[in-house]
Amino acid sequence: MNIITKLTLRYLKENRQRTFTTIIGVVISVAMIVAVPTLLASMIDLARRQTVKENGDWHVSYSLVLAKDLELIRKDESTSSIALSQPIGFSPLEESLSYNKTMIYFTRMDEKAMNTYHVALVEGRLPEAENEIAWSSSIASEGGVIQKVGDEIEVVIGDRIVPADEKNPERVLSREDYTAYSDNTGEVVEVFRPRETHKFLITGIIDPGTLENYPAIGFLAMQYLDADHLEPTDLVDVAVKWKQIDNGANKNANRLLTKLKINAEQIDFNHSLLRYYGILSDRNMAILYGVGTILLVLIIVGSVALIYNAFAISVVERSRQFGILSSVGATRFQKRSAILQEAFLIGLIAIPIGLAAGTAGIGLTMRFLEPLFEGVVGTSSEPLRLVFSPGALVTSVIIALITLLVSAWIPSKHAGSVTPIESIRMTQDLRIKPKDVNTSDLTRHLFGFEAELGLKNLKRNRKRYSVIIFSLVISIVLFLAVSSFTIYGDKAADHYAKELKYPVWVRVHSDVNVEKQVQILSEIARLEGVTDSMLIKTVPLDIQLEPEQINPVIRNTRQPEEYAEFGGNTPIAFAIQLLGQADFDKFLAANKISELPQNDQEAVPVVLINSKTLLMSKDKYQPIDPFFVERGETLEAAVHLRDGITEDKVKLKIAAIAAEMPNGDVGFDLSPHMLLVGVRETFDRLAPPAADERSIGWVYLQMNAADTSKLTNDILAYQNTHPVGGLMIQDINAYQRAERNIKVITKVFSYGFVILITLVGIANIYNTVMTSVAQRKQEFAMLRAVGMTSEGLKKMIRYESLFYGFRALTIGLLVGTGINYLLFRQISEGFRLKFQLPWLAILIVIVVMMATVGLTTLSASNNASKDSIVEALKNENY
């Protein structure tokens, strides 16, 4: 073994305690470093699995391939497996209640394809014969068309056609054309061209998996595809799963395209999945990697600042050794390599432990946080799993080594320049000038001579002093920054997190008329567990206001274009919420308004919600009153029909002004808005509903229940057993739960990060104080020899540490508060926040800092005062 290595190894063994604390510091840093890419890899893995779940387990698909060419794909080097399906055609489903799903899409699929697209049998059996089909469960739940297993149906199968016009030839639409084909004006132009009439026996009900994406026009009906009975000229769709997902496979897929003699439109990549493999560039991935990099840089900066100190101390401690080495002819490089080897040896022990600890730590964290991820990624999300990525491990090792190297670099340069004469003469102390160690008389008066000596000791070695202060300040600043961030994050989020009177909203999302909608929703309102509910019909209106009734701030705001229309004489679009008489009375009571008689034959008595508009001014949102409408005023409104056509006018009399909306919310809106509330029966009496009712307004039910998740499930169950068409259900509690979970997750990670950084800092403080005491044994012995008592010595050391802690706290708290203010400026935009000091965090910082410094010093000073004076004085070699 090289003598320098041997020397370094022995030195590390000799100073076990210091080596141990340094290793702990490095272990924590490495653990943090490895946690970042591991977490990243795990999240990407989650995203991949989630995408597979939502979009199917395939990488590339070829449509309309000749069955005789299937071998080409199957035998291709990139192909792992293939799934076959065969489009048959569409059939209109006249009875469908769904807005968008108005057809049935018939297809054949082999078992592999069912797996690939997560199609699963719910009831009955899979079709086997030519005239058998399995039928999507959503045809009942969304379409409201209920057929049972064993039913026979007759359907007309055909194609969706876009007829030829002057410019384009006729086009046949495929399953990929999700929505009804419309032209530039929004008019649906596709037509159905029947091909054949079929009789089918329904053998089973299937869960359509990913094949019936929400906006798709067709419900799924499936026949069984037997790959062995395909004719060579049959056309099939092939979904391919690759063996290895990389650019090679990507290129290969395009090569295969030419071999199959099909054109580019017939190949489709699973973009949403492949972007998570880095094959396709993706903004989300770039953001993810960006955040990861920023975090890593933060960790590295924090770690370097803290680990650097360990090596800086080592150089000071070993400088006599380097002097001796130098005097017997060690070169600069050899002295330097001693410190670099120290870093390397420490890395050798600390990096593997750090990797293991970091992976285990993030694994445990993920396991504990797992339940919180529910509802964050999606309603039925995949579990978050720990992923061991060799790439992440290698990256971490390299980053850890670089961190160590960077930390040791400057100290090693200092080690290289230690001259023998310095160590022989101990000239470092000779170089100081009296003014370097000047202390004010006040210190002596206030704290005594020992304190003054302590302060002088600090000043004697300015470089080390500033290194330690820097390390401590970094810990403090990071802690405060994260705390402030969390505090403001909480505050900002609180604006949304208000307890709602009606957290569950339901709307009928299908083609049934208002009367039917009201009936369905009333039934839902009677479901078990509902504690309170309110049925609201919203009708859009046009109201002509006088220019002076519009706040000049809005009238004059020409810049945001949406305000421009408020300057002229065009009518303004408003909405009126119509409640049942009972709900309306409840609403009046909540707003402390006395009953309003509903017998006016001229005008509908309405309540105006006094909602404010948030207007951007001077980089901040200011709430202003958008319109000046007084109580007692009567407004003339035109009832909205589709496409700007308005119905007969109706008179609305502002009978009262309320602060809260019927759902208990206080209105804030970014665009000027006026909300009116009235009684449904009165409105309908004075403004008879139009014939085509669904075009004027929509009905929704707001509910509350003790257990809103259960209520949501009950509503879904109701939907499956009653032909209501689609229901849109929104559980704001679940949404808020997800929000809260995100906050908890963020807090765990940010505080975890800070606590670890602080631990590195504590290890560092411990090292520094212990070393500085150990190094000055002789000096202490001398002080005791000239009559300083043990108590006095302890006092001196304690004051020394106290001054360290005090100085670090002063700087750290100042810088930390500065950063806190910057964060406040950043986040306060748009939210009305008050600047706030993170008092609790500041208190924690002070306590932890003082406790660490205090406890360390206590043990160090006990050690120092126990040493024998004679031994310590004699000990010349250190």
Question: Is residue 397 helix, strand or coil?
Answer: helix
CB 13 to other proteins: min, Å: 8
**Residue 328 found at the interface with other proteins (CB under 8 A):** yes
Using the rule CB under 8 A, which residue among 327, 810, 826, 862 binds other proteins?
327
Contact region with other proteins (CB under 8 A), list: 58-66, 163-171, 340-348, 417-425: 417-425
Using the rule CB under 8 A, which residue among 150, 329, 390, 391 binds other proteins?
329
d(CA 142, CA 725): 4
**Residue 461 found at the interface with other proteins (CB under 8 A):** no
Contact region with other proteins (CB under 8 A), list: 21-29, 293-301, 330-338, 528-536: 330-338
Nearer to other proteins, 295 or 339 (CB): 339
Amino acid at 825: R
Amino acid at 375: G
**Residue 7 found at the interface with other proteins (CB under 8 A):** yes
Distances (CA, A) of 342 to 135, 314, 319, 333, 349: 70, 9, 14, 14, 11
Using the rule CB under 8 A, which residue among 43, 64, 324, 437 binds other proteins?
324
CB 312 to other proteins: min, Å: 20
**Residue 877 found at the interface with other proteins (CB under 8 A):** yes
Near other proteins in 290-319, by CB under 8 A: none
d(CA 367, CA 31): 17
Q: x/- string (CB under 8 A) for other proteins, residues 421-460?
A: x-xx------------------------------------
Size of the site for other proteins (CB under 8 A): 30
| Region of 405 on the Ramachandran plot (φ > 0 left; ψ -120 to 50 alpha; else beta) | alpha
809 CB-contact burial (10 Å; exposed 0-12 / middle 13-18 / buried 19+): buried
Amino acid at 271: H
Contact region with other proteins (CB under 8 A), list: 148-156, 255-263, 271-279, 324-332: 324-332
CB 582 within 8 A of CB 681: no
Helices marked H in 690-776: 708-721, 732-775
CB 335 to other proteins: min, Å: 9
Using the rule CB under 8 A, which residue among 10, 74, 445, 740 binds other proteins?
10
Nearer to other proteins, 413 or 651 (CB): 413
**Residue 337 found at the interface with other proteins (CB under 8 A):** no
d(CA 806, CA 718): 66
Residue with tokens 């719910």: 122
Nearer to other proteins, 419 or 544 (CB): 419
d(CA 295, CA 302): 10
d(CA 562, CA 427): 76
**Residue 368 found at the interface with other proteins (CB under 8 A):** no
Using the rule CB under 8 A, which residue among 334, 486, 767, 768 binds other proteins?
334
Nearer to other proteins, 332 or 460 (CB): 332
d(CA 843, CA 857): 21
**Residue 870 found at the interface with other proteins (CB under 8 A):** no
Structure tokens at 446: 């206030």
How does DSSP assign 243-310, residue by residue? SS-SHHHHHHHHHHHHHTT--GGGEEE-HHHHGGGTSS--HHHHHHHHHHHHHHHHHHHHHHHHHHHH
Nearer to other proteins, 1 or 264 (CB): 1
Distances (CA, A) of 828 to 115, 159, 481, 834, 837: 49, 56, 15, 8, 14
Helices marked H in 557-628: 581-590
d(CA 74, CA 77): 9
CB 537 within 8 A of CB 507: no
Using the rule CB under 8 A, which residue among 244, 331, 379, 721 binds other proteins?
331
CB 8 to other proteins: min, Å: 9
Beta bridge pairs of residue 543: 572, 637
Nearer to other proteins, 252 or 775 (CB): 775
Near other proteins in 465-524, by CB under 8 A: none
Nearer to other proteins, 167 or 431 (CB): 431
What lies within 8 Å, CB to CB, of 97 at 6+ separation is 142, 143, 144, 145, 510, 511, 512, 723, 724, 725, 726
Contact region with other proteins (CB under 8 A), list: 85-93, 321-329, 393-401, 523-531: 321-329
**Residue 332 found at the interface with other proteins (CB under 8 A):** yes
808 CB-contact burial (10 Å; exposed 0-12 / middle 13-18 / buried 19+): buried
Structure tokens at 226: 């037997």
d(CA 22, CA 350): 9
Nearer to other proteins, 338 or 793 (CB): 338
Contact region with other proteins (CB under 8 A), list: 27-35, 323-331, 517-525, 697-705: 323-331
CB 23 to other proteins: min, Å: 18
CB 334 to other proteins: min, Å: 6
Contact region with other proteins (CB under 8 A), list: 120-128, 268-276, 332-340, 798-806: 332-340
Nearer to other proteins, 531 or 877 (CB): 877
**Residue 410 found at the interface with other proteins (CB under 8 A):** no
Using the rule CB under 8 A, which residue among 228, 499, 643, 876 binds other proteins?
876
Nearer to other proteins, 71 or 876 (CB): 876
CB 346 to other proteins: min, Å: 17
How does DSSP assign 167-196, residue by residue? SS--EEE-TT--SPPB-TTS-B--EEEEEE
- Please, what is the Cα angle at 753 between 747 and 755, to 5 degrees? 95
**Residue 323 found at the interface with other proteins (CB under 8 A):** yes
CB 428 to other proteins: min, Å: 15
Return residues touching other proteins (CB under 8 A): 2-4, 6-7, 10-11, 13-14, 321, 323-334, 419-421, 423-424, 876-878
